[in-house]
Structure 1
């Protein structure tokens, strides 16, 4: 009887973990397709409206390592529930008829939910049998990115028919459901766990990341107030350097930076960082190109809703790749799959650079991107967790997601800078050739990602040192088995 009930709870746990990861990703991404509508509704500039997306990414990047550390301790269930309550409260603020400043507060609260993805992985690794935990972790990783493709078209459709509040209302509804799912299905952490949260480290990391992402998102600051931008950049570097030193010397750091000394962890995070830059460049290039009006001499002038539909193949193919990857990980090392996925994404760049004369070609490029990103996301946990004890799953993956968030922000900024450089004086839209240049820049990023992944695979060769099993015990590498 007890076994039957436990089996039933386990069956409910898997869809709940995947749903929560999907919801927090989709809700956080709601800012992107609504920027123009927010500017119109609240009578603010487009630069100000852009902060509805930027502030969610900022709060997510800052909250992720903190929640990861809490998730490594005995109060993981409470951390998940309290975080979702914060996300629900933030979602309510985006729906209520309040001034623009309150909308930003609500978006910041929604962004905090991005830190839950790593905790979902920790729950899966602790409470599911090994043959089910790996596929579940891979799917959680995939849907955390595929949520973008889900959120865009729905937000666009609701905005066209009910206004920006209707789109944010959907966010409120699904976050309430996610909270109920977590309350019903997420178990308590195993006994014997402890987690000390390094408050000073959290403040240093928060300040450093805020300045980095702020400077990346504020291109006008570099052109109009260059000295101020340089000073802030120096302060950001100093804060992150102090955080790094304190993390290496501390007994219970916010993120175990000593783990980065392991080639598998360092290599995987490097691949994630550079790969995220490339992924986001192509994602933004395709959506921006599709919405460019015909008057620019190219583009298709499609609406926000139709632009969101372009992302559907990204989500569908990404989900399919995420389902196919776990079985492949039983035969192929995760770093090799990372390298192969990076090559696929590179193929998407080549397609976009060579052929974008109709929407069908954009759909094809987006499909290739989705398949590559889905496979890359599903393989990434396997490259890190093979050398990570169970108790540190949330913390290790939270750092990887911080790296990914910073990479996404840099990718968005780099793509924007290349397009801005290709915009003639007096023109609103860049030249068509600027998109080709940006595509080649992204292709270089994916080539670096491929090389980093292959180096990592070589380090996992038969001659490589023993790794650590999921249980925290030394075990031979896959090649030795």
Structure 2
């Protein structure tokens, strides 16, 4: 594809990939307004109903690195189309479900499609002109946050004013639209690692380790952090992941090249990503509850699910506004400064929330600041990763970074959930999170953001390049002439 063709098609490519990321994020938040109603809807227990959420997390964690590597091996466009199929099928299965098992199966299928975002980010390196690359990466990367911020009020409105099945029929239509757009607008780029073999033992080992780890983190509070089941899962996770790491260092074509991952820029970026994911999810766990808690507590704001979603929606819009600005900052000063700026803004947003948590307007403003910081941080991390890895590993490396973010959100859910459940008051015979519990959760979120800032500050800068986009583009240029229109 020559330069004029590249320029003319890049807008449609970026819009399609951003919409794909937003749709994938909406799939994750789709059931949030239904959490309290799931036991009744599915005729099951509250404990069983939580698997509707947990299953998506587990399947996505296993599939994202696998899909990323397959994108490098057989083509990113092909894998984007493959990812759209379980999103459609899972949505239809959920829409038709009347019991918990089919719903869990459908949610698992939706989790299989979450690899769209890292695939899309990696594809941008191949098909977007250099001057648009940083801003495009920032927008597509932040689309997960944008979808999460906008998906909650949309899902709440549909759940409140229409049949809950409409949520899943709507997501099926969205996923089908994405598949059509990918088919017609995304160019077919030659696979960067074509000819290498797929590392099946590595995929199985990483999958087993991640399932054990995430199960222990996400269900530890229900099973008991000191229970034999939780402890056994943590031990199994260590055994599987250590064994997986040893295998990856020995095999010729690894699922994740740990030698590349160990490079200081990649390693520190992935480490910072964990804490950014933690900081982002902490706010998403605390703020809706503060808005919805009864006013009689003295600190709750008594908002409905729909109203609280609308108060939080500007945060998602803020990500959309900030992402292009983050791309310009990356072009001018490099992705390290963008990441550092983003996590410091997140920390400032938490500081603001501690001062303004007594009003819905204050929470909305604080969430806009936090979301703006997340948009900057999320947009910079893929640029840091892709400027440090070979062309043949872009999708796999981005998928691993996405996995680190997901691990951070899981840790955030576990830690903040534990704090909120332990620091309680008695109100009418019910245990409710205390004001001190909410404040502690916000302080932890601020501290984690500052920790991420400390890590970002020591990430080595890129040397001997005039801009990050030049380095991202340089690896892709030799193959440009072979890209099919």
TM-score by length of 2: 0.91
Deviates more, 1:424-433 or 1:109-118: 424-433
Contact in 2 for aligned 1:212/1:236 (Cα 8 Å): yes
Cα distance, 1:120 vs structure 2: 0.6
Cα distance, 1:66 vs structure 2: 0.2
The answer as to 2:239 corresponding to 1:238 is yes
Structure 1 residues 192, 386: closer, same or farther in 2, change over 3 A?
closer
CA distance in 1, matches of 2:394, 2:331: 20
Contact in 2 for aligned 1:290/1:299 (Cα 8 Å): yes
The answer as to 2:147 corresponding to 1:147 is yes
Which residue number in structure 2 is paired with residue 169 of structure 1? 169
Contact in 2 for aligned 1:388/1:472 (Cα 8 Å): no
Cα distance, 1:398 vs structure 2: 0.3
Cα distance, 1:308 vs structure 2: 1.5
Q: SS of the counterpart of 1:388?
A: coil
Which residue number in structure 2 is paired with residue 360 of structure 1? 361
Contact in 2 for aligned 1:38/1:49 (Cα 8 Å): yes
Q: SS of the counterpart of 1:429?
A: strand
The higher-RCO structure (CA 8 Å, 6+ apart) is 2
Cα distance, 1:131 vs structure 2: 1.7
After superposition, the C-alpha distances for 1:362-381 in whole angstroms (9 at most, x for unaligned) are 10111111111111111112
The answer as to 2:442 corresponding to 1:439 is yes
Deviates more, 1:223-232 or 1:131-140: 223-232
Q: SS of the counterpart of 2:33?
A: coil
The answer as to 2:431 corresponding to 1:448 is no
CA distance in 2, matches of 1:234, 1:25: 31
Which residue number in structure 2 is paired with residue 66 of structure 1? 66
Contact in 2 for aligned 1:335/1:383 (Cα 8 Å): yes
Structure 1 residues 293, 252: closer, same or farther in 2, change over 3 A?
same
- RMSD across aligned positions (CA): 2.4
Q: SS of the counterpart of 2:332?
A: coil
Gaps of 5+ in 1: 474-481
Q: SS of the counterpart of 1:91?
A: helix
Which residue number in structure 2 is paired with residue 38 of structure 1? 38
Where do 4+ consecutive residues of structure 1 move more than 4 Å? Answer: 1-8, 461-464
Q: SS of the counterpart of 2:338?
A: helix
CA distance in 2, matches of 1:168, 1:105: 13
The answer as to 2:319 corresponding to 1:318 is yes
CA distance in 2, matches of 1:441, 1:153: 26
Which residue number in structure 1 is paired with residue 342 of structure 2? 341
CA distance in 1, matches of 2:238, 2:3: 53
Contact in 1 for aligned 2:97/2:103 (Cα 8 Å): no
CA distance in 2, matches of 1:98, 1:121: 37
Cα distance, 1:446 vs structure 2: 1.0
After superposition, the C-alpha distances for 1:153-210 in whole angstroms (9 at most, x for unaligned) are 1110010111321222221111111111111122222266414221111111111111
TM-score by length of 1: 0.92
Which residue number in structure 1 is paired with residue 293 of structure 2? 292
Question: For this pair of structures, how many residues does the alignment match?
Answer: 471
Structure 1 residues 224, 371: closer, same or farther in 2, change over 3 A?
closer
